[in-house]
Amino acid sequence: MRRLFLMFALMICAAVSASAQESFRWVDFHPDGSAESKDQDIIVWVTRALQGERWTAIREIGVLYDAALVVTTERTDAGASPANDTFHVWSVSLKSKLLTPILKGVNLRWQEPIQFAPGTARELTVLYDDCRECAATTYFTALYYDATQHTFAARWMRGEQTLPVWTTSVAQGVTETQAYAALPGTDGGEFLGAWSHFDFGTQKPAQDYVFRYDRDPLRGLERTLSLSGKDAEAMKDRICSAQLPAGGIARGQDSDMCQQRLHPDAKPGAQRRVVTTPPSNNQGRSFPPGAKASHN
Q: pLDDT (tens digit, 9 = 90+) per residue, 245-256?
A: 666 899 999 999
Beta bridge partners of 125: 111, 142
Buried b (16+ CB within 10 A) or exposed e, 3-15: eeeeeeeeeeeee
The Cα 215–Cα 201 span in angstroms is 36
C-beta of residue 197 within 8 angstroms of C-beta of residue 257: yes
Helices (H), the chain: 2-21, 37-49, 229-240, 256-262
C-beta of residue 188 within 8 angstroms of C-beta of residue 217: no
The Cα 70–Cα 89 span in angstroms is 6
- Digitized pLDDT (tens) for each residue of the chain, 296 residues in all: 555 444 444 343 333 333 334 699 999 887 665 545 678 999 999 999 999 999 999 999 999 999 999 999 999 888 888 888 999 999 999 999 999 999 999 999 999 999 999 988 999 999 999 998 888 999 999 999 999 999 999 999 999 999 999 998 888 889 999 999 999 998 889 999 999 999 998 889 999 999 999 999 888 899 999 999 999 999 999 999 998 766 689 999 999 999 999 988 766 554 444 443 444 444 443 344 444 444 44
Q: Of 20, 219, 196, 18, which Cα lies nearest the Cα of 116?
A: 219
As to burial, measured by CB atoms within 10 angstroms (0-12 exposed, 13-18 middle, 19+ buried), residue 49 is buried
**What are residue 217's phi and psi, to 5 degrees?**
-65, -20
